[in-house]
């Protein structure tokens, strides 16, 4: 994959560059602020961008703003946003508009190298990757608790996996159930949440997430 990194901590930036290089990915640019990120993407659009939410000068949400701009201007570029802590607002903002190839991970998730690389690949491939913690909070805070209450425990597990962006095959693997079992659960979930089943994997994830975050 061709990757551009934006992270203001030199330490972490260097670590990520090394990690990606070891995994055989090509790092086109590694920058320390949002302005340089946009410039780098404009020069040579990558498959995927990894951006920290907080970057200079104000350390608030420059990274997220840049990510949203990239989503708008270069729809083919996947965007994986790293955040210090779960901000429902960020997740919700990322989920509005075109939502193919977005990801939102907690920064600490980078420590789980396998999970991080997996999320990065999913986003690069135009799918989604949402941090389990983000999903947990969206599930916990949703205003649709009455509808969620209809779900069985197993269905909730499947919903959480789905919202993180996993495919049915992956969910089956992770929850140790058959793929047809997963499909049965997902259909039940869509029925209970009154979501009209859309085509395509990513759309269903985002439909769920958007529904939870609304």
Partner 1 sequence: MRVMARRLVRCGAGLILGTAAAAVELLFALLAGVALLPVAAWPKGRRAVLRPVLAGARILAELERGRLRMWLDLRVTPAYEDVRALRYVACHWALGVLGGVVMLTAAIGLAYGTFGVYGWLLLDGIRNPGSLVLGSLGGFFLVFLTVQGIFGVVGLEGQLARHFLGPRHQEELERRIAELSASRAAVVDAVNDERRRIERDLHDGVQQRLVALGMLLGRARRSQDADRRDRLLGQAHDESRRALDELREVAWRIYPTTLDEAGLRAALETVAERASVPVGVEYALAEEPEQAVATVAYFVVCEAVTNAVKHAAPTRISVAVRAEEKRMYVSVRDDGCGGANAAGSGLFGLARRVAALDGSLSVDSPPGGPTLVAAELPCG
Short-list 184, 161, 186, CA closest to 173: 161
Burial class (CB in 10 A: 0-12, 13-18, 19+), 76: exposed
Of 26 and 108, which has the nearer Cβ to partner 1?
Answer: 108
Binding flags for partner 1, 1-30, as an x/- string (CB under 8 A): -------xx-xx--xx-xx--x--------
**Stretch of 105-113, 164-172, 180-188, 190-198 contacting partner 1, by CB under 8 A:** 105-113
Concatenating the DSSP letter of every residue in 83-148 gives ESS--HHHHHHHTSS--SSEEEEEGGGGGSHHHHHHHHHHHHTT--EE-HHHHHHHHHH-S-HHHH
Interacting residue with partner 1 among 24, 58, 98, 114 (CB under 8 A): 114
- Contact segment (CB under 8 A) with partner 1 among 87-95, 102-110, 156-164, 193-201 equals 102-110
Burial zone of 80 (CB within 10 Å; 0-12 exposed, 13-18 middle, 19+ buried): buried
Overall residue count recorded for the chain in this entry: 214
Does residue 60 touch partner 1 according to CB under 8 A? no
Site string for partner 1, 63-92 (x = CB under 8 A): ---------------------x--------
Contact between 113 and partner 1 (CB under 8 A)?
yes
Give the binding site for partner 1 (CB under 8 A).
8-9, 11-12, 15-16, 18-19, 22, 54, 59, 84, 107-108, 110-114
């Amino acid at each position: 994959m061709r990757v551009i990194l934006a992270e203001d901590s030199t330490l972490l930036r260097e670590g990520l560059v090394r990690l990606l290089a070891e995994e055989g990915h090509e790092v086109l640019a590694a920058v320390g602020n949002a302005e340089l990120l946009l410039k780098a993407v404009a020069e040579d659009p990558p498959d995927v961008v990894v951006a920290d939410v907080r970057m200079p000068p104000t350390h608030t949400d420059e990274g997220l703003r840049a990510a949203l701009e990239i989503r708008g201007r270069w729809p083919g570029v996947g965007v994986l946003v790293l955040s210090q802590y779960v901000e429902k607002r960020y997740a919700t903002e990322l989920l509005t508009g075109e939502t193919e190839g977005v990801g939102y991970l907690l920064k600490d998730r980078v420590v789980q190298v396998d999970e991080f690389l997996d999320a990065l690949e999913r986003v690069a491939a135009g799918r989604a990757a949402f941090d389990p913690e983000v999903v947990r909070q969206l599930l916990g805070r949703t205003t649709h608790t009455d509808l969620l209450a209809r779900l069985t425990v197993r269905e909730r597990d499947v919903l959480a996996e789905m919202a993180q962006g996993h495919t049915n095959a992956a969910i089956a693997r992770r929850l140790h159930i058959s793929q047809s079992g997963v499909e049965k659960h997902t259909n039940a979930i869509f029925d209970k949440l009154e979501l009209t089943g859309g085509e395509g994997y990513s759309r269903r994830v985002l439909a769920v997430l958007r529904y939870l975050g609304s």
